Structure 1
């Protein structure tokens, strides 16, 4: 797990920039709230609002990101008003919370913007429970949210807008459909049911911290599509929480809420959350849990009993998510996995075509964004295949084939990165062999996605030509993929 986090590819140091910018943006937001004279509650609200604004907004263009960021308060403030207004009306509060859960998951059907707004709405309601917000605090909380979103936007779009130099990859959306065939519709129903279970059982466990269980259920559903993905994510959330609680006992409790030390450690946690989110959910949850412990230390309520309660509520939330995806409108791993692999292969096709244009001298050809998109798609494939390669999976044959597919897709990504690096060299040139190799790669992808066979044409001279060597390596990996992706009859196998 350590190796996957710290040795994982980071094209253009995107994850490093993402994490560093987040620390700056959130620190600025908290500082602005402090200068405005806000209480600790207002500062915590502002910091979390800035974190969400920097973490959840993933539109494909800078303009789209700016629009989504501007819309966050329009969604969050009404939800905050409802949460505070219903503070003393438990039944209405709980029903409203469940409605926010369902609407937030359903909003994923509208792509990255719907996803961002849904997450912000849910977390606004959650934070209101976390801070026990009441109506008399609303003016300060409104100001904290607005100032913090503005501060985060100033860093993201002004001080450090690296997306202008490297356009971000499109965040993959779940497969479509209509009615109950649409994944987002099924997940909205599942998430609402799972959250309902978590809410009821969570309140039996603790009348004060029940919302932790609902939050666990919600975040287990975020960025998952199939039943298997959700179960694995629930396991990883629980594991990350256990490790985070252990760190909380060793790190957060001895601090005793000291503001300076807590601020430094919280900044480290924010960096860890953003840096590890794309490669390890367990590690991300470790940092989230430690950050929560530090915040509770600031509020003066941190103790071993509270950390134990967090673990119990997380377990309730994970159980609620598991029961929902198993018993209610399950989405199988097989169709989802096949769809993500198909998209990754089409991205390989696009990367190759764009690189060939670059080598041919096209001034507007830039394969770098395609490489970033491929990395995101491969991360999505890994998430989808995770149930099959999990140590507890008893189906050894499928596990071996799934690992083989992942290894070959990683080979494709490595060859693509090497090819793009060669294409970036101004001395690189285009010749007939390169064009032919590019066409063969594109034909290989088309054959794989259409269910045909892939053949490899060897060329001994490729070893001395870097671009050709990468293309032939890519061609071989694609040819090898044909076998594990299908049964002898040609049907998809990996996600079956």
Structure 2
């Protein structure tokens, strides 16, 4: 039976993560009840189990096992320190702030440090909240260990990883997302004219496809290390084909597709949709060949032009997508079970024992090594900020409510989770506050309705716990919404619910978030613009290394893994988009900076597209001694170097592309290039496409002078319109 994957959750990673949290909580409560531990250990044990199940996210089982072995040490140490120091309140407070500092500082050790730090903080906080003493240690220590053991059980037994099944789910999500993009293109063509809302839907679909392809690449990493690419070239070719289809649709509607042409185009898109809708393991080779013949017949230009006009047939973008997907699905279908060999299509890109990697200049080899960060590490800065914010939140929270001050401290601590700059902290803080406000309104309504109905209350509580952790990676507002509703239901269950209690939670949360934001702004601030500049410099460096290796592969035959380098560029670009979000958000007060940054990100998206195209098309030595290629390659690398210097404050004029280097076929439209290429030798077609993509990359790199306010060979750059 085919497995359907959610297009919004490729591989069902978020679903499994939420199920692990819910399973860990239920198992912990059941085990604690069975072993007869006091009821006061239920809440600490369940919270430790939830945090452990949610924060342990290493990709390999061995890495997870090591982390789970470290978690009981961190949890028990926190319990013992708090209980022993309980008679000395000031020392307990100092120890709590030390735990806050260490918990955030441990994030420098990536996923494992984050998990250990979160468990240490939450355990110390919970036992301090319950005023634990040394007499309670025989109950609290086993409860913490049982909670972590149940979290490990949920990871390794109940909701365990099945790599090949996950890979199959991710490839199925990839297929579904392509169907969604085809549907979005169909709606765009149906409108017949430019529509910003429909074009945004197409772009959102493309972003999801890129995310799924990166997930598939990560899951194939082990196979690649063993020498099998698992259809990586087919993946990147399909990604490029659907991207070209979306670009063709945007260009077509910009020219206003004639009404008499739309029905035929939509019919052909429907044929393409039916082809892509088939599951990977379904048979249908004869039908596929029939579809290709039908699209080929429609694609032949009749009369004038091959574009979307009165006499035009199937655009080349549709036929190209169909051909590419048929090839890709045959390769991806073999990924559904372990042990099935897959042809190493990209071996000619990869370094092998028979042909070692080409020598690099010393300056390039040194550039690969990450440069040490200037000043304190981000984790050190945030550790100091979080400690100061926790101290301020404790004082202000106790002034507001001596009994509920802990809500402020937790909010202040969580402000710094997975953030990179003060702008990021501010944006996430506003989202958490919004989620708390909405959760307060919903919590009051739900608590009033379910009062006295125990089964319904428990069902809603566990459902909200699942929803909070399922949506946490997507929306901080949604997570805070569900957590606030859970608190309302919990207090309703205990008979202590009042609307004023939720109002107090909102006020304490606002105090904690305000303390976190003030600490981030006033104490060792990490400016968002500085983070963006650092990301941009790293991205330009990756692009420069890719271009140098691509030019060597094309001109000398030296072998490089261009697909992996192109994916490195994609990941860097994704990080830049994420870190730049506070500056591109509609609420930002810096309108001019937002306009420049939006323009720059659009140009970088174009550069990444041409880089992926080169990675898919380049073959060793097939453009040796081509002067146009050499000229454009030198100019691109030189301009990328100047752009990196500009990021660091050294401004130099960029060299403008020469019209003599532009291939003639690049001057005609996309479909004419495809149709002309179909009647030429494949080698010549590949050469023309490579030159065209290099030329477009050359133009895009030079176009970054405008948003960065650099001068060019033709004069000073102006602000983009």
TM over 0.5: yes
Superposed CA offset, 1:253-310 (max 9, x none): 5334755333322332232222222222222222222233333334443321211111
What is the total number of aligned residue pairs between the two structures? Answer: 460
> Paired residue for 2:121?
122
Aligned partner of 2:509 among 283, 299, 314? 314
Structure 1 residues 103 and 475: CA distance shift in structure 2, 3 A: same
Aligned partner of 1:487 among 702, 709, 717? 709
Structure number with greater Rg is 2
Structure 1 unaligned residues grouped into runs of 5+: 1-6, 354-364, 424-428, 491-496
Query: What is the distance in 2 between the residues matched to 1:158 and 1:281?
Result: 29
> Paired residue for 2:106?
107
Query: What is the distance in 2 between the residues matched to 1:36 and 1:347?
Result: 56
Superposed CA offset, 1:31-88 (max 9, x none): 3333333444323222211211122123353322221121111011111223344445
Is 2:395 the counterpart of 1:396?
no
Is 2:303 the counterpart of 1:304?
no
1:249 deviation in Å?
Answer: 0.8
Q: Which moved more, 1:39-48 or 1:66-75?
A: 39-48
1:239 deviation in Å?
Answer: 1.3
Q: Which moved more, 1:474-483 or 1:29-38?
A: 474-483
> Paired residue for 1:186?
381
> Paired residue for 1:268?
463
1:218 deviation in Å?
Answer: 0.5
Q: Which moved more, 1:260-269 or 1:279-288?
A: 260-269
Superposed CA offset, 1:302-359 (max 9, x none): 3212111111111111121122122211111122123345566788999999xxxxxx
8 Å Cα contact 1:337/1:385 also seen in 2: yes
8 Å Cα contact 1:169/1:373 also seen in 2: no
8 Å Cα contact 1:445/1:478 also seen in 2: no
RMSD of the TM alignment (CA)?
Answer: 4.6
The 5-angstrom pairing of residues 424-443 of structure 1 reads: none
8 Å Cα contact 2:429/2:513 also seen in 1: yes
Q: Which moved more, 1:191-200 or 1:91-100?
A: 91-100
> Paired residue for 2:317?
none
1:435 deviation in Å?
Answer: 11
Structure 1 residues 176 and 155: CA distance shift in structure 2, 3 A: farther
8 Å Cα contact 1:412/1:478 also seen in 2: yes
Query: What is the distance in 2 between the residues matched to 1:129 and 1:307?
Result: 22
Aligned partner of 2:475 among 272, 275, 280? 280
User: 3-state SS of the aligned residue for 2:424?
Assistant: helix
Is 2:439 the counterpart of 1:244?
yes
> Paired residue for 2:235?
none
* More helix per residue: 1
> Paired residue for 1:328?
523
Higher relative contact order (CA 8 A, sep 6+): 1
Structure 1 residues 405 and 280: CA distance shift in structure 2, 3 A: farther
Query: What is the distance in 2 between the residues matched to 1:406 and 1:139?
Result: 56
User: 3-state SS of the aligned residue for 1:74?
Assistant: helix
Query: What is the distance in 1 between the residues matched to 2:100 and 2:527?
Result: 22
8 Å Cα contact 1:175/1:183 also seen in 2: no
Give me the TM-score of the superposition, normalised by structure 2. 0.54
The 5-angstrom pairing of residues 150-169 of structure 1 reads: 150-162=149-161, 164-165=163-164
Query: What is the distance in 2 between the residues matched to 1:91 and 1:168?
Result: 49
Structure 2 unaligned residues grouped into runs of 5+: 1-5, 168-217, 222-369, 550-560, 625-629, 645-653, 679-685, 713-721
Is 2:177 the counterpart of 1:177?
no
Is 2:485 the counterpart of 1:290?
yes
1:236 deviation in Å?
Answer: 1.7
8 Å Cα contact 1:191/1:217 also seen in 2: yes
Structure 1 residues 298 and 124: CA distance shift in structure 2, 3 A: farther
Query: What is the distance in 1 between the residues matched to 2:706 and 2:468?
Result: 35
Is 2:61 the counterpart of 1:76?
no
